[in-house]
Chains A and B, each alone.
Chain A
Amino acid sequence: MRNLDKNRPVCPQICELLCVDIVNGVYDAERRLPAVRELAAGWGVNPNTVQKALDTLEEQGLLHSVRGSGWYVREDISRAREVLQELRIEKIREFFAVMESLGLSPEETCEFVKEWYHE
């Protein structure tokens, strides 16, 4: 069971996990995702939530469903890369906002992270 944050809605977290897996080529071989129930059981989450996450990723153009067969990853993963990039930028924005409330401007935060990381 992968660790999910219980204080955040589960659906976007599932989207993030799937998006990373798609970009990392986890589903490359068959391009077919496990069944909704299997995915849900693997994460220990509600199947309806997984279904919603898959619908969202379909809307974003990462997946397509085949009636009676299941969910497939689109051949072209450039869209998945874009979505992942957007997610990362969003997280950085949140992080900058937190650091700003702790007294560092975005520029200062970048410097601080670099220095701290090299130590």
Chain B
Amino acid sequence: MSELLRCENLTKQYGKTAALNNISFTLESGKIVGLLGPNGSGKTTFIKILNGLLTPTSGAVYIEGERPGPSTKAKVAYLPDNVYLNAWMTVEQIVAYFADFYADFSTERAFEMLNRLGISPKQKLKALSKGNKEKVCLILVMSRQAKLYVLDEPIAGVDPAARDYVISTIINNYNPEASVLISTHLISDIEQVLDEVLFIRDGHLVLKKSVEDIRAEEGKSVDELFREVFKW
């Protein structure tokens, strides 16, 4: 397993507030990693830096040795925490648009997943419910053959049955060359598929640990540990 992601003393200031404070860690390929923290802890800021949407105040992040830019965007599949697609487009138009845009996109996979979740390709995006819009976004991301999948709150808005499907999609898409970084609050739904967790609080990395070690050493679930670490 090789190093996929490296953070070195990553800091992001918004005025006087530090959204990220001196975060350093590395991530190998072939892992499913949970990025966990309460609201406002810096999860989305971190993810935006990874994708080159924000620049760090100091420190740096490297994806396979490169700073975020066009060549890392070609290998990072990013699911933002909001729907960003054009509402007037139909689902199949969006699929074609993505296929045009990303060399690693599989149209066949996209249609297969749409079919499984019962979303008609002919429908316009604005006619879809919030949950179905989120499913479309996730399908587009998971249809790529990326090196790193970065999913910001992928299951928050979808129903529990679809949640199971999303989780099994992540498992089925598993590939020893790629890693998946998932930020979420819904820890108990997802903890069984994780290899590792990163806990962040007020922009600090407070814990990076294998979930099997957490269960073995603490005798508790990740959800329980989270509630303990982040107790009010």
A contact set with B: CB distance below 8 Å: 1, 4, 6-11, 37, 40-41, 43-49
Q: Which residues of A contact B224 (CB under 8 A)?
A: 7
In contact, B212 and A47 (Cβ under 8 angstroms):
no
User: B139 in the interface, Cβ–Cβ < 8 Å?
Assistant: no
Q: A6-B188, A9-B212 are in contact. Are A46 and B223 (CB under 8 A)?
A: no
Q: In the complex, which residue of chain A has the Cβ closest to the Cβ of B169?
A: A41
Q: How far is the CB of A45 from chain B (nearest CB, A)?
A: 5
In contact, A41 and B195 (Cβ under 8 angstroms):
no
| Bound form: Cα–Cα A49–B219 in Å | 17
In contact, B164 and A44 (Cβ under 8 angstroms):
yes
| Bound form: Cα–Cα A48–B221 in Å | 18
In contact, A44 and B192 (Cβ under 8 angstroms):
yes
Select B195's contact among A1, A8, A9, A48, beta carbons within 8 Å. Answer: A48
Select A7's contact among B168, B174, B220, beta carbons within 8 Å. Answer: B220
| Bound form: Cα–Cα A8–B222 in Å | 10
| Bound form: Cα–Cα A11–B216 in Å | 10
Q: Which residues of A contact B85 (CB under 8 A)?
A: none
- What does DSSP make chain B's interface, helix, strand, loop or mixed? helix
In contact, B32 and A46 (Cβ under 8 angstroms):
yes
User: B172 in the interface, Cβ–Cβ < 8 Å?
Assistant: yes
| Bound form: Cα–Cα A4–B211 in Å | 14
Q: How far is the CB of B108 from chain A (nearest CB, A)?
A: 18
Q: How far is the CB of B145 from chain A (nearest CB, A)?
A: 15
Q: Which residues of A contact B168 (CB under 8 A)?
A: 41, 44
Q: How far is the CB of A9 from chain B (nearest CB, A)?
A: 4
B contact set with A: CB distance below 8 Å: 30-32, 164, 167-168, 171-172, 174, 188, 191-195, 212, 215-216, 219-224
Q: A4-B192, A37-B174, A44-B193 are in contact. Are A49 and B223 (CB under 8 A)?
A: no
Q: A6-B188, A10-B215 are in contact. Are A47 and B174 (CB under 8 A)?
A: yes
In contact, A44 and B215 (Cβ under 8 angstroms):
no
In contact, B31 and A6 (Cβ under 8 angstroms):
no
Q: A44-B164, A44-B192, A48-B31 are in contact. Are A9 and B171 (CB under 8 A)?
A: no
Q: Which residues of B contact A4 (CB under 8 A)?
A: 192
Q: In the complex, which residue of chain B has the Cβ closest to the Cβ of A51?
A: B176
In contact, B171 and A6 (Cβ under 8 angstroms):
no
Q: Which residues of A contact B192 (CB under 8 A)?
A: 4, 6, 10, 43-46
In contact, B195 and A6 (Cβ under 8 angstroms):
no
Q: How far is the CB of B72 from chain A (nearest CB, A)?
A: 24
User: Can you list the 9 inter-chain pairs with the closest CB atoms, starting with the nearest?
Assistant: A6-B221, A9-B215, A41-B168, A41-B171, A47-B174, A9-B212, A9-B216, A45-B192, A40-B171
Q: Which residues of B contact A9 (CB under 8 A)?
A: 212, 215-216
Q: In the complex, which residue of chain A has the Cβ closest to the Cβ of B30?
A: A48
Q: How far is the CB of A67 from chain B (nearest CB, A)?
A: 15
Most interface-central of A1, A7, A8, A37 (chain B CB within 10 A): A7
Q: Which residues of B contact A8 (CB under 8 A)?
A: 215, 219
